Amino acid sequence: MQTEPVTQENHKNKSEGGVVYRTSCQNPGCGHTFDLRVTPANASLLSGTMPCPRCRRHGGMLKPQGRLGNKLFSAKLVFRLTGIGPRLDEDELPGATGLR
């Protein structure tokens, strides 16, 4: 999946279909803002994960924030934590009494 930022000239061109999401990356240390044009051909961007074009971190979800104008919406690219979960210590394992 390729995400191409939309230039200001393309945004003002009314002949192109779809809506534009003005998106900012919520990855700590990035904050990159870009425009993403969503058309019927690439509407799956709204339900799947995507990488940030600047920091290249994968797994971001596009979260709509509201309407800015006609066919222009605000959104943020939010990443969820992966690989982090509760850790069981050896003392908390069931049946671990007297194994030491």
Distance from C-alpha of 71 to C-alpha of 19, rounded to nearest angstrom: 5
Q: Which domain holds residue 25?
A: 8-82
**Which pair of tokens denotes residue 27?**
């990855």
In a domain, 21, yes or no: yes
In a domain, 41, yes or no: yes
61-93: pLDDT as tens digits? 888 889 998 889 999 988 876 666 665 555 555
Spatial CA neighbour of 71 closest among 1, 27, 19, 28: 19
The count of other CB atoms within 10 Å of the CB of residue 43 is 11
In a domain, 89, yes or no: no
- Total domains in the chain come to 1
In a domain, 92, yes or no: no
**Which pair of tokens denotes residue 92?**
């908390």
Which of 5-14, 73-82, 90-99 has the lowest average pLDDT?
5-14
In a domain, 72, yes or no: yes
pTM: predicted TM-score of the whole model, two decimal places: 0.59
b vs e for 68-98, b when ≥16 Cβ sit within 10 Å of the residue's Cβ?
Answer: eeeeebebbbebeeeeeeeeeeeeeeeeeee
Distance from C-alpha of 46 to C-alpha of 75, rounded to nearest angstrom: 10
